[in-house]
A and B are shown apart, each in its own frame.
Chain A
Amino acid sequence: MLFSKSRKHKVVSTGTAETVARVKGFVVDPATRHVVALMVRKSKQGDTLPWTRISGFGPDAVTVADEAAIGPADEPIAALSGKSNTMLKKQAISSFGDHIGTVTDVAFDGDTGAIQSVLVDGEPVPADRLLGVGSYAVVLEAEPTP
């Protein structure tokens, strides 16, 4: 699953079959390399859908048991959801301090939320090289020199 392909997914309640919100963005914890929550809009409940409350992340929609899954961001998620923590369109630099390119997309596992790879100018970089996402750049571990 790609960030770019699921950025406008509907959030549908399986209880009422109604669209309760729309996906606006992704909250990533670089330490665990997981999507920890979705930012959503058009819900009166709040703007945050924690990953643990998602029933299913499919190719066409995100499902939740009911709208109560959505709420205001709690402390740890709020700390990761600022503008400086977004990944798309941010520059990528290596841990050696060299510019690599721009993050064009992020691939993740729809079941677990695990980040699989970071796409830099379309080229996938394995997620285990992701070190940080900050105000200046997405930092990727430099490839070991032979």
Chain B
Amino acid sequence: MSRLMRTSEITQRPVVTLAGDDIAQIKDIVYAADGGSVRGFTLAGRGLFSGPLSTVLPWSKVAALGSDAVMIRDEHALTDPAALEAGSARSIGKGGNILGSQVLTDTGTDLGRVVDAIVEVAGGHDQCDVVGYEIESSEALENAGTKVLIPLPDTVAASGEHLIVPASARNFVRKDLAGFGAAVAEFRKQLEGGGS
């Protein structure tokens, strides 16, 4: 069972143990340095006046990421921040080193600016892949100014200013999450097979 989610929907979701207690909520998302997967989450306390927590939640300790809660086995899943630091990029959620980036094709066309990241959550303990971005489209695409989804290859070059995608990505742009999973799969298959 796998599903796609916007990362903006994950922040502020409660972190709930299998015993049913909400012991934290997601503050921000920490990505692997290459931007291709989610390494874990920074946390805040529950409630209006509670600030950030000093512990983090590594992806390996997440039991399930659902539409209403992030499930963990028990409170031992929350660990020292050092567990996330090695090989992590700064979170894109707030600092904005990917949000707001200009998406350029490798042939030099501006497709738009990143407004959200799309992750694929598989069952079990597979990694949490970043499979695409939601971008505000430029004139290069139909319906300039609207939000569209663009699939990502397995690895991308990102500088904080630009994000480089293969030119063929624009053939796999979708308007909403339904059908986007298939578009990502097709796009990646074409990249592997094509080689051009």
A: which residues have CB within 8 A of B?
30, 84, 93-99, 131-139, 142, 145
Contact = CB atoms under 8 A, between A and B. Distances in A.
Given A97-B64, A132-B19, A133-B20, 8 more contacts: A93-B68, A96-B64, A96-B66, A97-B66, A98-B67, A131-B18, A133-B19, A134-B22
Nearest to B69: A97
A132 B19 CA distance: 4
A121 to B, nearest CB: 15
A137 B63 contact: no
Smallest CB-CB A-B distances: 5 pairs = A97-B66, A134-B20, A132-B19, A136-B22, A134-B21
Contact of B20 (A96, A99, A136, A145): A136
B69 A137 contact: yes
Contact of A97 (B1, B19, B67): B67
B68 A131 contact: no
A99 B67 contact: yes
A133 B18 CA distance: 8
A139 B19 contact: yes
B68 A98 contact: yes
Interface of B: 1, 14, 16-22, 63-71, 123
Contacts of A145: 1, 123
Contacts of B22: 134-137
A131 B19 CA distance: 6
7 contacts: A94-B66, A97-B65, A97-B69, A98-B66, A132-B21, A139-B17, A145-B123
Contacts of B21: 84, 132, 134-136
Contact of B69 (A30, A93, A135, A142): A93
Nearest to B68: A99
B65 to A, nearest CB: 6
A139 B16 contact: yes
A95 B1 CA distance: 14
A95 B19 contact: no
A97 B66 CA distance: 4
A137 B20 contact: yes
B119 to A, nearest CB: 14
A34 B66 CA distance: 28
A97 B21 CA distance: 12
Contact of A95 (B14, B63, B67): B63
A133 B19 CA distance: 6
Given A136-B14, A145-B1, A97 B70 contact: yes
Contacts of A137: 16, 20, 22, 69
